[in-house]
Amino acid sequence: MAKRRPPLKIICLTGGPGAGKTAVADVLKREFQNQIFVLPETASLLYSGGFPRAENPQELKRVQAAIFHVQHHAEEFAKVRKNRAQILVCDRGTLDCGAYYPGGVKRFLADVGSSLRTELSRYDMVLHMETPNANQGYDFSNPVRNESSKEALALDHRIQSVWKNHPSRHVIKSRESFLNKVTEVVELVRNEIHSI
């Protein structure tokens, strides 16, 4: 009999704007190569492809609902295309949209026809990278990022709040050395791989 492969584990790599998620995702790809599959951030893909920015609350609701549905389908597709990967790392998760949604996460979940339990259960682990403040080097160089340092920190707090009930949530604190944040995430992912 062929040996059955363990189910794919899914890690949500989240945090506020400028926290370093995409840079860390690139490090994880290099460090773990075929052991993980990294799904890029849906919002950045859409915005860099010309998806319109919202200009009012109604448009923002539509944009976040679109991001949610694309993210959901991209995750399902990645599960099929994972090749030999043991872990799918998602640059952001479906609940992140609730932090941006006018009316908050409860309104968002009702509008997209889901529940907190359903969305939390999509992920085996949540790694929240905190956004640095202006003194710690908040980075304005990303062309699809339009938040000030103050706005980014407020979003970071809202994102932490929407994921707070996940049973395996780790908050990677912002610090002077970005390398220390990277090392912490790499070790958490390494431990998850070894647990399979």
Percent of the chain clearing pLDDT 70 (strictly above): 89
Is residue 38 scored above 70 in pLDDT?
A: yes
Mean residue pLDDT of the chain comes to 89
- For residue 55, count other CB atoms closer than 10 A to its CB: 9
For 75, other C-beta atoms within 10 Å of its C-beta total 19
Name residue, tokens 């640095």: 132
Amino acid identity of 47? Y
Q: What is the pLDDT of residues 86-113, one digit of tens each?
A: 999 999 999 999 999 999 999 999 999 9
Cα angle 120, 133, 66 (rounded to 5 degrees) comes to: 40
Q: Which CATH architecture has domain 9-194?
A: 3-Layer(aba) Sandwich (3.40)
What pTM was computed for the model? Answer: 0.90
Residue 5 has pLDDT above 80, yes or no: no
Q: Are 35 and 86 in contact (CB under 8 A)?
A: yes
d(Cα 165, Cα 170) in Å, to the nearest integer? 11
Q: Hey, where are the domains in the chain?
A: 9-194
Query: Can you name the residues that pair with 125 across neighbouring β-strands?
Result: 11
Give the pLDDT confidence of 157-179 residue by residue, as tens digits.
Answer: 999 999 999 999 999 999 888 99
Burial class (CB in 10 A: 0-12, 13-18, 19+), 4: exposed
For residue 113, how many other CB atoms are within 10 A of its CB?
A: 8
Quick one: which of 144, 168, 172, 140 has its CA closest to 156? Answer: 172
Provide the pLDDT for residue 138: 47
Taking only the tens place, the pLDDT of each residue in 112-148 is 999 999 999 999 999 999 998 766 654 555 555 567 7
Q: What is the pLDDT, as a whole number, of residue 142?
A: 52
Overall average pLDDT of the 35-47 stretch: 93
pLDDT at 78: 87
